[in-house]
Structure 1
Amino acid sequence: MRLAFMGSPDFAVPALEALHGAGYDLVAAYCQPPRPAGRGHRLAKCAVHVAAERFGIPVRNPTRLRHNADELAYFQSLGLDVAVVAAYGLILPADFLDTPKRGCLNIHASLLPHWRGAAPIHAAILAGEAETGITIMQMDQGLDTGPILLTESVTIGSAETTATLHDRLAALGARLILRALAETPAPRPQPEPATYAPKLSRMDALIDWAAPADAIERRVRAFTPWPGTETRLEGKTLKILAVEPAEGCGDPGTVLDDRLTVACGRGTLRPTMVQRAGRAAMPTEAFLRGYKVPPGTKLG
């Protein structure tokens, strides 16, 4: 079976590794082009690019697919049976979707139709969901609207972060895509209604202390490792990496004691891991030994 793999970040790598290990004929890997990274701004290849080169799979890095006749001609020349898509980063136009004999199969990190869109793992934790999972979907031209082939759920732990859930779902997606290719399950339409997981940005990192404590706690876990959560302390950025429930009350954003306990809109939280700009992450106790934050200090 001739396959193209279309994915870019770490989430997609286990699926590529599983397909390669299962002996599928991977004739092309499509991923985002190298981009500047690090202090030196040197061009860095994405995770799928690196993995594909390790396996000797030809890599394609088009910046767009829509109205790209040359890339479409190349894609059509591959004689594909199927294309597997996992967090690729580009929208596939209809002529690309229609090229493989069995179409394009997407590995989506939610139980569709819940959390269609760009950040389904973050959204599930942020919403306080008890479970999420992987959907293998036959792609159509909508935003994650295609018929479902396979699903499998996982429980979201009470201390789960996007980092830990991401890794579990990536492994599950690798296993399910092998099943989908081997079993060719009948597609079934997605039920309604749907929920949507919007794209996140660095602007989402700032904590609103007027929110309830449980919502802020989920936000810290959901935004670990990216985009992170942060607050302003005496005009400087302080990253909040982990929190725990605490006792006390006061105006939202007010530090209540010498342990950095912070009043929220409802309830109270105590950061347990923090990071100043340009410094290493550290337990709050260690931070407070070198940086005094008196009660009454306002965070914002």
Structure 2
Amino acid sequence: MTLRLAFMGTPEFAAASLAEIVGAGHDVVAVYTQPARRRGRGQATVKTPVHQLAELFGLTVHTPESFRDPEVIAQFESLDLDAACVVAYGQILPQQALDAPRLGCLNLHGSLLPRWRGAAPIQRAIMAGDEVTGVQIMQMEAGLDTGPVLMSEVVPIAETDTASTLHDRLMSTGAQLWPRTLAALERGSLSATPQSEDGVTYAKKITREDARINWAKPASEVADQIRGLSPVPGAYFELESETKPVRVKVHFAQPEKGDGEPGKVLDDALLIACGRGAVRLTRLQREGKGVMDAKAFLNGTDVPVGTVLG
């Protein structure tokens, strides 16, 4: 027996799940994803990773601007679905849509709920210095990531992890949860565990202010901020120049011993003083340039000892 499904997702993180669900032999009768957008310097119209993969599989793709449109909901209801699988879709589903599939809508989330409900769970977990995170599939409710948990997998966070490396591990682990979850759903053997209201945290969308490095914080927190925002949007500081400040993104840094005014360059290999301790900047990207190691960066950019970074 196979389930009659819709898949709803947008980024690469979601595309991996679509591949696993199709590979498990389920009948994906419709894929919903965000509309194609203009991107890059040439402003070419680019379809989402889920859209591109769905077309390779020969699946029917829908790209509604809003799932609150009555015609969109009516069309969704007409699909006569067993369930909908949702992964980073990017739109809030109204209750009428959540109720349409016979077995409801299931959502894959990149944290161990109720910690880090919301938009940026991977980045926020690293930025907070968490040692573990995970992926969970939940039964969707109207609230923000509040539904009962159906399947879960714990994933450790290494000291060398960035948002990019952790994203890829969670993407793979989460995708592999779908065949197990859907098989149990078919058998009627899924057990739903309500979320505790203790320990709820929210993974708010990353802002420009989140990305600016605050050297007054302890070195461990500065390093976690840098790792959690690498490679996108990238934690940054500003370096004074003769014309205007130059923005420099830092993609990796390691805490070390050191003491001085926060932001002060302590040696000729980019050891920077923090509020407590110091960090060694090892991977950087000057505005308009590619990512490079500290030695290559210093070959093209003068950062004398004693400079105070902004």
Specify the TM-score bucket, using the shorter chain as the normaliser: over 0.9
Alignment of 1:1-300 (within 5 A): 1-66=3-68, 68-184=69-185, 185-193=190-198, 194-234=200-240, 235-300=245-310
Tell me the distance in 2 between the aligned counterparts of 1:291 and 1:131: 37
Contact 1:204 1:227 in 2 (8 A): no
Tell me the distance in 2 between the aligned counterparts of 1:174 and 1:247: 40
Find the residue that maps to 1:39 and give its secondary structure: coil
Tell me the distance in 1 between the aligned counterparts of 2:231 and 2:272: 22
Find the residue that maps to 2:55 and give its secondary structure: helix
TM-score (norm 1): 0.97
Aligned letter for 1:238?
V
Find the residue that maps to 2:153 and give its secondary structure: strand
Measured after TM superposition, the shift of residue 101 of structure 1 is: 0.3
Structure 1 stretches of 4+ with a deviation exceeding 4 A read: none
Contact 1:161 1:224 in 2 (8 A): yes
Tell me the distance in 2 between the aligned counterparts of 1:31 and 1:58: 11
Tell me the distance in 2 between the aligned counterparts of 1:242 and 1:188: 38
The number of residues matched between the two structures is 299
Find the residue that maps to 2:268 and give its secondary structure: coil
Find the residue that maps to 2:101 and give its secondary structure: coil
Tell me the distance in 1 between the aligned counterparts of 2:285 and 2:72: 45
Moved more, 276-285 or 212-221: 276-285
Give me the identity figure in percent: 51
Per-residue CA deviation, residues 125-156 of structure 1 (Å, 9 max, x unaligned), is 11111111111100010000011111110111
Measured after TM superposition, the shift of residue 290 of structure 1 is: 2.5
Tell me the distance in 2 between the aligned counterparts of 1:169 and 1:289: 36
Contact 1:105 1:139 in 2 (8 A): yes
Measured after TM superposition, the shift of residue 123 of structure 1 is: 1.4
Measured after TM superposition, the shift of residue 53 of structure 1 is: 0.7
Tell me the distance in 1 between the aligned counterparts of 2:215 and 2:308: 10
Per-residue CA deviation, residues 20-66 of structure 1 (Å, 9 max, x unaligned), is 11111111111111111111111111110111111111111111112
Contact 1:272 1:283 in 2 (8 A): yes
Tell me the distance in 2 between the aligned counterparts of 1:111 and 1:211: 27
Tell me the distance in 2 between the aligned counterparts of 1:288 and 1:188: 53
Find the residue that maps to 1:132 and give its secondary structure: strand
Contact 1:4 1:84 in 2 (8 A): yes
Moved more, 220-229 or 79-88: 220-229
Query: Mind listing any 5+ residue stretches in structure 1 that lack a counterpart?
Result: none
